[in-house]
Amino acid sequence: ADIGSSAMGRLVGLAVKEGDPVKAGQVLARIDRVQAASSAAAAAAGLGAMEAEARAAADQARSARADLEAARARAAEARRSLERAKDLRTAGLTPQSEFDAAVANAASTEAQVDAATATVARATGTRDAAERRVNQGRAEQTRARDLLDKTEITAPIDGVVTRLDVEEGEMVVIGVQNQPGTILMTVSDLSAVNAEVKVAEADVLRLALDNSATVSLEAAGGRKFPGKVVEIGASALPQVGTQAAAREFKVKVRLGGDIATLRPGLTCDAEILVAERANVLAVPLQAVVQRGND
């Protein structure tokens, strides 16, 4: 795993050196977190203000609904009073002025209901907008906290630091478009080691997964390791240069035996067993000739 950074800044802490074993989740390096911490604090404060506004908007909406219920109750009472006034006016028991007052009061209370309904709609819209701003603030806080957390670079896997490309105090940049980001280090899982070998196109079709192999390393004094084929390239490797050459395919052989002393980047040769015959006559190739048509 090539370890990069999702945060840009100065490398203020380097907790490992090349060759150190690491565990998944272990802190490997730290980026200057002043700006990220400030952004996280600002996001938290902004979210608090938005939540307070949302609570106030919710209280206003509840108050508006209560006012609407009161207005409806007054309107219902005014309608009943108007009905009584109509009956009394029909019987000639009340003056016209009282009847007119009852009519005006009923109309006024109905208008109050309409006004209270509009107030409820506005308060509800304000409350909904405040809740959406709270959600926006929470998303911003999540982003700021994530950026702050990423100032601590952790190991994604158990392994060994096999390459360290930076020193404490250097600037770390993130990749943008065609500009690659800073690679801090490489962590390799050495519990399983593969030998990547090139196989000519004339031989690759004879290979199959789980073919047994023998891998020899010059760096280990020609020591040989057993292995088996675990991956066969689906396409040929890119050719280097303009001269026509035989195509080659990448094949991975998983090594067995005592691999604790091996390191990534060593060169090797591999012999892959693709077929085996028993109890047959074997002669040197030079001893085989063709005569006539037989």
Surface-to-core class of residue 101, CB atoms within 10 Å of its CB (0-12 exposed, 13-18 middle, 19+ buried): middle
What pLDDT does 244 receive? Answer: 63
- Let me know how long the chain is: 294
What pLDDT does 134 receive? Answer: 94
DSSP 58-103: HHHHHHHHHHHHHHHHHHHHHHHHHHHHHHHHHTT-S-HHHHHHHH
**Are 203 and 229 within 8 A, CB to CB?**
no
Stretches in the chain below the pLDDT threshold 70: 177-178, 241-244, 293-294
What pLDDT does 268 receive? Answer: 92
